[in-house]
Amino acid sequence: MSLYILCTVLFAVGLYCLLVKKNLVKKIIGLGIMEYAINLFFILTGYRTAAEAPILDRELAITNFVDPLPQALILTSIVIGLAVTALMVAIAVRLYEKYRTFDINEIRRLRG
Amino acid sequence: MIPLFVAIPLGFAFLIPLVSKYKEGFARACAVAGGFFLVCVSVASVYWIKTGAMTYAVGGWKAPFGICMELDALSVLILLVINIIGFLALVYSAEYIKKRYTSPGLYYALFCLLLAGLNGVAISGDLFNMFVFLEITSIASYALVAFGTEAEELEASFKYMVLGSIASALILFAIGILLAKVSTLNMADIARQLMRQGPGNITVLYCAALFTMGFALKAGLVPFHTWLADAHPAAPAPVSAMLSGVVIKTLGIYQLVRVIFNIIGFSQAMSFIFVWLGIISMVVGVLLAIGQWDFKRLLAYHSISQIGYVVFGIGLGTPLGIIGGLFHLFNHSLFKSLLFLNAGAVEFATGTRRLEKVAGLSNEMPVTGVTSLIASLSIAGIPPLCGFWSKLIIIIAAFQVQHFFGAIVCLAVSMVTLASFLKVQKYAFARKAQNPVAGIKEVPLSMKVSMVSLAILCVGVGLFFPVIINTVIKPAADVLLAGREYINWVLGVK
């Protein structure tokens, strides 16, 4: 149980970083932390104590095995996270070229 | 037939960047042809699906174990909205993108990717699969908002990405918790497991809260609306039309009602939250819109307000309220995308979207003038245009359940909307220009065609509203009212 709570704490750290930090790069790192917290949570839900890898074998009947579904989902989720992070970094670099800064207090032309 | 909705746009999205380098015009022809085919398929599917659902097991693995796609009347309504607006926006894009932006090939590829993601969300019967399509849509729309790569567009896109990623993270978190609880991802199977466990479970309530937050962020409902007014105006006009007309509804409203009504189960508490989210969005959106002088920004704030109507209507939970909400969703996609295309046409012809800087355009641009007048009157709810009937149904439904405050707010917001759009009409189109600028011409044919078709749809839906309600809206509302009947349609358990 405490592991799940730690996951939520990690998620909150990422969310805090994403919302409060003023630097674009730090915001992107915050997003990364948030994604890792969720990935970790998924993997933990599939964990079983003293279990084996879920490989189908006709000789050995494995009764106690790790749930493979969350692992498969997380592979997809990591790829999606990569795409979002890559796009964000690309846009942050273009923003730097326009404004010559990563500070969001300076990047404020839109308001109202 | 069902996988075609995703396969065609996804296939074109990969093909277009490869071929368009060597062959000019290939991208546009491909995208428009694909869009037209999708419109045909979605109109045909109105006749296939009357009640129940059609399912398709991906790779032959039967549902609850494999990924399944399912098409019911609610999906059909959303598919109609996506593909009609998508096709007309693609037709509009031809001249607009060629004149104003570089690399049209990439634009069409991203647009097809957006369509693939949206269609995928609408037909997915698997929660994680729905999340993947949601992310495809989101990534395509982040990139399309930044397509101009000017300072403002990049800034809006970054803001949109930050809040969009938070929404996706919340949704994924909720999916994880549900998966841990019921060990399945098929939406119908989740609903069945939750029904066996009985109502009032704290974990399920926590998931419902996470889902509501995530989808409300995607829909731009009021406490979560800050990104919308930056992101929607920054995009190219056809993309703004897609974002405001389709994306916030598919990613926000459709997924929210699907999860809440068909999986978790609608209750009094949910109804309360929906109704108040709707009322607050209506009021705050329209108040923020009054003071705007940027044409597209004004429209973006009105989107928040109109989405409030949709959520309010659906949140009432009565058959009439749900019909009104879904009908308003359909109508809003027509008139709001028309207004964004008009704003694009004004910007295309004059180079600015500040309302105080343009004047007397209805002489130089009669088509834009007339179509924008129709759209403005529709959104303000003037009979017999389409916006009037859906607002009327929502207000009657509010009176039926004795929610008088909500009904009065609906009426008042409608008045303020009318005032706001009279301002647009007066400044941009009706008033005499003090010092007329020479050389303002009506927009090219492709842009006129799609604006006129949307205006005809607005008038047509208004005049023949009983037909539309009976063939499209009512079956969709029945899906929501049936609630967990949905399990039997998808899993085929009698």
**Would you call B161 and A15 a contact, using CB atoms and an 8 Å cutoff?**
no
**In chain A, residues 29-48 whose CB comes closer than 8 Å to chain B:** 31, 34-35, 38, 41-42, 45
Per domain, the residue ranges of chain B are 266-463
SS3 letters across chain B: CCCHHHHHHHHHHHHHHHHCCCCCCHHHHHHHHHHHHHHHHHHHHHHHCCCCEEEEEHHHCCCCCCCEEEEEHHHHHHHHHHHHHHHHHHHHHHHHHHHHCCCHHHHHHHHHHHHHHHHHHHHECEHHHHHHHHHHHHHHHHHHHCCCCCHHHHHHHHHHHHHHHHHHHHHHHHHHHHHHHHCCCEHHHHHHHHHHHCCCCHHHHHHHHHHHHHHHHHHCCHHHCCCHHHHHHHCCHHHHHHHHHHHHHHHHHHHHHHHHHHHHCCCHHHHHHHHHHHHHHHHHHHHHHHCCCEHHHHHHHHHHHHHHHHHHHHHHCCHHHHHHHHHHHHHHHHHHHHHHHHHHHHHHHHCCCECCCCCCHHHHCHHHHHHHHHHHHHHHCCCCCHHHHHHHHHHHHHHHCCCHHHHHHHHHHHHHHHHHHHHHHHHHHHCCCCCCCCCCCCCCHHHHHHHHHHHHHHHHHHHCHHHHHHHHHHHHHHHHHHHHHHHHHHHCCC
Question: Is any Cβ of chain B less than 8 angstroms from the Cβ of A87?
Answer: yes
**Would you call B156 and A110 a contact, using CB atoms and an 8 Å cutoff?**
yes
Of A11, A38, A91, the CB nearest to B154: A91
Beta bridge partners of B186: B126
Of A11, A67, A92, the CB nearest to B158: A92
Helix (H, G, I), strand (E, B) or coil at A68: helix
pLDDT at position B494: 43
Of B132, B156, B165, the CB nearest to A31: B165
Helix (H) / strand (E) element for A15: namely helix A2-20
Q: List chain B residues with pLDDT less than 50.
A: 494
For residue B298, list chain A residues with Cβ-Cβ distance below 8 A. Answer: none
CATH code of A74's domain? 1.10.287.3510
Question: Is any Cβ of chain B less than 8 angstroms from the Cβ of A5?
Answer: no
Query: Which chain A residue has the Cα nearest residue B290?
Result: A112
pLDDT digits (tens, 9 = 90+) for B169-215: 999 999 999 998 888 888 888 988 888 887 768 888 999 999 999 99
Residue of A15, A18, A48, A80 to mutate, interface with B, max B Cβ within 10 Å: A80
Question: Is any Cβ of chain B less than 8 angstroms from the Cβ of A67?
Answer: yes
DSSP E strands in chain A: the ranges are none
Query: What tokens appear for B99 in the block?
Result: 């004149």
Question: Is any Cβ of chain B less than 8 angstroms from the Cβ of A11?
Answer: yes
Residue of A9, A20, A73, A106 to mutate, interface with B, max B Cβ within 10 Å: A73
For residue A77, list chain B residues with Cβ-Cβ distance below 8 A. Answer: 172
Q: How many Cβ pairs within 8 Å bridge chains A and B?
A: 89
Mark B221-242 as b/e (b = at least 16 C-beta within 10 Å): bbebbebbbbbbbbbbbbbbbb
> Are B35 and B83 contacting, i.e. CB atoms less than 8 angstroms apart?
yes
Distance from CA of B159 to the nearest CA of A (A): 10
Does residue A86 sit within a domain?
yes
**Would you call A76 and B132 a contact, using CB atoms and an 8 Å cutoff?**
yes
pLDDT at position B276: 94
What is the domain range of residue A22?
Answer: 2-99
Nearest to B321 by CA among B244, B393, B424: B393
> Are B254 and B78 contacting, i.e. CB atoms less than 8 angstroms apart?
yes
**Would you call A27 and B139 a contact, using CB atoms and an 8 Å cutoff?**
no
pTM of the full structure: 0.94
Does residue A47 sit within a domain?
yes
Residue of B154, B213, B287 to mutate, interface with A, max A Cβ within 10 Å: B154
Distance from CA of A64 to the nearest CA of B (A): 16
Query: What tokens appear for B273 in the block?
Result: 């939250």
Could you tell me if the ipTM is greater than 0.90? yes
DSSP state of A105: T
Mark B394-427 as b/e (b = at least 16 C-beta within 10 Å): bbebbeebebeebbebbeebbebbbebbebbbeb
Confidence of residue A111 (pLDDT cuts 50, 70, 90): low
For residue A87, list chain B residues with Cβ-Cβ distance below 8 A. Answer: 139, 142-143, 161
Mark B1-22 as b/e (b = at least 16 C-beta within 10 Å): ebeebbebbbebbebbbeebee
Of B142, B176, B292, the CB nearest to A41: B176
Does residue A78 sit within a domain?
yes
pLDDT digits (tens, 9 = 90+) for B274-304: 999 999 999 999 999 988 889 999 999 999 9
**Would you call A98 and B132 a contact, using CB atoms and an 8 Å cutoff?**
no
Helix (H, G, I), strand (E, B) or coil at A23: strand
Does residue A106 sit within a domain?
no
For residue B139, list chain A residues with Cβ-Cβ distance below 8 A. Answer: 80, 83-84, 87
Confidence of residue A68 (pLDDT cuts 50, 70, 90): confident
Span A59-75, mean pLDDT?
A: 84
**Would you call A87 and B155 a contact, using CB atoms and an 8 Å cutoff?**
no
> Are B326 and B456 contacting, i.e. CB atoms less than 8 angstroms apart?
no
pLDDT at position B435: 66
Task: Give the side-chain half-sphere CA count within 13 A for A100.
Answer: 0
Question: Is any Cβ of chain B less than 8 angstroms from the Cβ of A6?
Answer: no
pLDDT at position B492: 74
**Would you call A34 and B166 a contact, using CB atoms and an 8 Å cutoff?**
yes
**Would you call B158 and A88 a contact, using CB atoms and an 8 Å cutoff?**
yes
Beta bridge partners of B70: B55
Does residue A110 sit within a domain?
no
Distance from CA of B427 to the nearest CA of A (A): 20
**Would you call B155 and A109 a contact, using CB atoms and an 8 Å cutoff?**
yes
Beta bridge partners of B55: B70
Question: Is any Cβ of chain B less than 8 angstroms from the Cβ of A100?
Answer: no
Provide the 10 A C-beta neighbour count for residue B266: 20
Of A18, A41, A42, the CB nearest to B166: A18
**In B, what residues contact A, Cβ < 8 A?**
128, 132, 135, 138-139, 142-143, 146, 149-152, 154-159, 161-162, 165-166, 168-169, 172-173, 176, 179-180, 183, 185, 230, 234, 291-292, 297
- How many domains does one find in chain A? 1
> What gap in Å lies between CA B269 and CA A15, rounded to an integer?
27
